[in-house]
Amino acid sequence: MYPKVKATNLSYKINEKKLFQNISFELFSGSAIHIQGDNGSGKTTLLKIICGLTRQVKGNLELKLDKKVCFLGHKNALKQYLTVEENLSLLGVNDHPDLSKHLIQFGLNKSLDINLSSLSFGQQKKIALLRVFLNDSDLLVLDEPCVGLDQQSQEYLCTFINNELTLGKSILFSSHISLDINSEALNLSS
Amino acid sequence: MNVIKYELLKLRSKSRGWLGPILVFILIMVAFPLTVEISNKDLGQSFFSVLWIAMLLVMMLATEDIFLEDYNDGSLEQFAISNINMSYLVAAKIFIYWLLIGVPISILGSLFCLGITNSTHLAIHILPILLVTSYIFINVFSFGNALSLTKGSVLGTLVTLPLLLPLLIVLGKVVISINLNLNYLGFVGLLLGVLSIIIFIIPLIISYIIRAHLE
């Protein structure tokens, strides 16, 4: 069985300051890796390297994916001046059959015609998370997905991720909040 | 096709983005005859200088944050990891800006030409020149804004502005040719030639610049 992601001795530095060195891991189908580390240890950078947004300084990265990566970063990629419905259309999930189920769960089903700027930070995060909930990917890359979410939504996200793992998807995530997800830990601080 | 649809939705919803430049253009063109004490004939002669400079400034203003918003809110990151070709996205964005800003300004420019020069012949012949020129301006300023994406739009604009000076010289020659009833199609061909090259090259270069910024 081939790993979906195989990283060998990945290193990254900014202006001679080493963020992380010789990071190696393999991520198989149906498994998750929780990237841990202090602030500034390079968690976001590592996730961006895996998404292909940034290049490692040293090391080798192999991805064996049939579909595109689903990435949720610190930025939500939502437009404040558009309504929730228009933003869902931009995300390309407005016609998804499971959309209403998640909207009801997040209590956003009656907010479709509201401008995104009128929603709270947590509600905006929930809209951004719909990209993850309605993904069509082999690999989910989530950077601090629980920031701004209430307890109930965090649990809903964890249940969803655990369910995705049983469906054979691979997940890489970073989180300072302890999450009930079946995952291995990869610590960048050590 | 979806990319064009979504870019249209975004710009259309942001009225400040497209209506602002059009209003600035109207303001400049209306203010011009009010601020000079010269005869109608002299007004017609200096009109085109003002028209080209107004169009240049307005296009500069219109493209000020063409990529900045998508960069700040993470949309460019999402496009970079999606299967959509980044240069196609850039070309679509530029096309929508031209459609919502460049085309109305070109039509208004032609109408102002009719109002000031009282020449239907000139107004009709200047319209295609305005349409092509506005597309070139938007492309070149988008390139400048992509260059200075994280450093403010002024820097990129100043770098790219000299690239448009030869174009302004050609535009001056076009107006003289139309006024003297000379064949100006050679100049139109030149403008179309420039456009047909940059319409492919600039989105490609911008896509590499954006990827470099995202790193």
Q: Is the pLDDT of residue A129 over 90?
A: no
A130 in the same domain as A88: yes
**Residue position matching structure tokens 């020129």:** B133
Q: Can you give the residue range of the structural domain that contains B94? A: 2-214
Closest to A59 (Cα-Cα) out of A7, A119, A127, A113 = A7
Res B180: pLDDT: 79
Q: Is the pLDDT of residue B135 over 90?
A: yes
Last residue of a domain, one of A90, A114, A136: A136
Residues A75, A144 contacting (CB under 8 angstroms): no
Residue A86 to residue B72, Cβ atoms within 8 A: no
Res B39: pLDDT: 67
Q: What is the mean pLDDT of chain A?
A: 86
A141 in the same domain as A62: yes
A96 in the same domain as A119: yes
A144 in the same domain as A54: yes
Q: Is the pLDDT of residue A113 over 80?
A: yes
Res A144: pLDDT: 87
A104 in the same domain as A25: no
Q: Is the pLDDT of residue B117 over 90?
A: no
Residues A5, A144 contacting (CB under 8 angstroms): no
CA distance A159 to chain B (A): 25
Residue B74 to residue A74, Cβ atoms within 8 A: yes
Closest residue, chain B, to A136 (C-alpha) = B82
Rounded Cα–Cα distance for residues A130 and A106 (Å) = 10
A28 in the same domain as A122: no
pTM: 0.86
E strand segments, chain A: 5-14, 17-27, 32-36, 58-63, 69-72, 139-143, 170-174, 184-187
A85 in the same domain as A49: no
Residues B59, B141 contacting (CB under 8 angstroms): yes
Res B161: pLDDT: 87
Res B192: pLDDT: 92
Residues B167, B143 contacting (CB under 8 angstroms): no
pLDDT (tens digit per residue) in B68-87: 889 998 889 988 888 788 89
Res A182: pLDDT: 81
Residue B81 to residue A69, Cβ atoms within 8 A: yes
Q: Can you give the residue range of the structural domain that contains A169? A: 1-68+137-190
Q: What is the mean pLDDT of chain B?
A: 87
Alpha helices (H) along A62-150: 84-91, 99-105, 121-133
| For residues B85-91, average pLDDT | 90
Rounded Cα–Cα distance for residues A125 and A13 (Å) = 30
Q: What's the number of domains chain A is made of?
A: 2
Q: What's the number of domains chain B is made of?
A: 1
Res B193: pLDDT: 92
Rounded Cα–Cα distance for residues B212 and B39 (Å) = 53
A145 in the same domain as A90: no
Alpha helices (H) along chain A: 43-51, 84-91, 99-105, 121-133, 151-166
Bridge partners of A184? Answer: A33
CB < 8 Å to A77, chain B: 73-75, 77-78
Residue A78 to residue B13, Cβ atoms within 8 A: no
Starting from the edge strand earliest in sequence, which strands make up the sheet with A139-143, in order?
A69-72, A139-143, A170-174, A32-36, A184-187
pLDDT (tens digit per residue) in B20-74: 999 999 999 988 878 777 666 677 778 888 899 999 999 998 988 889 889 998 8
Rounded Cα–Cα distance for residues B93 and B110 (Å) = 25
A64 in the same domain as A1: yes
A91 in the same domain as A1: no
Q: CATH number for the domain including A185?
A: 3.40.50.300
Last residue of a domain, one of A101, A117, A136: A136
Res B38: pLDDT: 67
CB < 8 Å to B80, chain A: 52-53
Residue B81 to residue A71, Cβ atoms within 8 A: yes
A127 in the same domain as A99: yes
CB < 8 Å to B78, chain A: 71, 77
| For residues A160-187, average pLDDT | 84
Rounded Cα–Cα distance for residues A112 and B193 (Å) = 46
What are the residues whose beta carbons fall under 8 Å from the beta carbon of B117, sequence distance 6 or more? Answer: B44, B47, B123
